[in-house]
Amino acid sequence: MLEIISLTLFVSGVALVIATIIGVPLGAALALRTIPLKKIIGLIIYTGMGLPPVVVGLAVYIFLSREGALGWLGWLFTPSAMITAQVIIALPIVIGLTTSAVENVNPELRLQIRSLGATPNQVMWTILSEARAGVVAAIVAAFGGIISEVGAVMLVGGNIEGSTRVLTTAIVLETRKGDFGLALALGGVLLTLTLITNFFLLRLNRPPSS
């Protein structure tokens, strides 16, 4: 049981960190810079937020399969494949909601900082700090999405006992075995984990000590 819990946290945790590191700056850039086709890119990102996780899993499976383009990596049925799928699921959520949060910051603020001589990077980080609440919401939403996901991790991970079994796939297994009581209990554990993690994530909302 402990193994399943720690793997769940490891896979979703690593995926969240990667998606955050890539997604938050990208989301801010999308909001702050003027780039060609901005509206179309925005549309694609928002559509990505609604991407069915199991379809992402299927695509990743096909790429990582023996005959697939990335089959040589040998990642199929390992946590690496699960992390890959979860990053792809989380990324649009992080980017989309970050863009929205940044766009909602008062544009006067940007002009103010620029007039004080801030570099574009300094502008971005200051605005992000102002949009903190929205960015945290983006991270929390992405985390909720990937830790509760079952289709993709089942496909690319294989639900192998002792190496790729996480809480969601374990719940599916106990259900098909007819052990509804245990499946519900595992669901309770999953909810508790999400609760605790979100408690810590929400602490990021505190203003930075100046």
Partner 1 sequence: MKYHFSLMIAIALLAACATPVPPPQKLRLATTTSTADSGLLEYILPDFQNKFNAKVDVIAVGTGQAIELGAKGDVDVVLVHARASEDKFVADGDGINRLDVMYNDFVLVGAKEDPAKVKDMTTAKDAFAAISKASAPFVSRGDNSGTNSKEKSVWAAAQITPTKEMSWYLSIGQGMGETLLFANEKKAYTLADRGTWLSQKSKLPNLIVVVGGETINDNKDKTLLNPYGVIPVNSAKHPGVNFDLATKFANWLTSAETQKKIGEYGKDKFGQALFYPSTSK
**For binding to partner 1 (CB under 8 A), which residues are involved?**
65-66, 76-77, 154, 158-162, 165, 169-170, 172-173, 175-180
- Supply the DSSP symbol for 208: P
| 8 close to 167: Cβ distance less than 8 angstroms | yes
CA atoms within 13 A on the CB side of 178: 0
Nearer to partner 1 among residue 55 and residue 160 (C-beta): 160
| 94 close to 19: Cβ distance less than 8 angstroms | yes
Nearer to partner 1 among residue 14 and residue 172 (C-beta): 172
Nearer to partner 1 among residue 110 and residue 165 (C-beta): 165
Nearer to partner 1 among residue 45 and residue 167 (C-beta): 167
CB of 149 to partner 1, least distance (A): 17
Nearer to partner 1 among residue 20 and residue 164 (C-beta): 164
Of the candidates 87, 78, 58, 56, the one whose C-alpha atom is nearest the C-alpha of residue 155 is 58
Q: How far apart are CA 210 and CA 208, in angstroms?
A: 6
CB of 173 to partner 1, least distance (A): 4
CB of 150 to partner 1, least distance (A): 12
- Residue 113 has phi, psi (to 5 degrees) of -65, -40
CB of 170 to partner 1, least distance (A): 8
Of the candidates 37, 48, 208, the one whose C-alpha atom is nearest the C-alpha of residue 128 is 208
CA distances 148 to 116, 142, 153, Å, are 45, 10, 10
CB of 8 to partner 1, least distance (A): 15
CB of 2 to partner 1, least distance (A): 13
Residues 6+ apart with CB under 8 A from 165: 3, 4, 7, 157, 159, 173
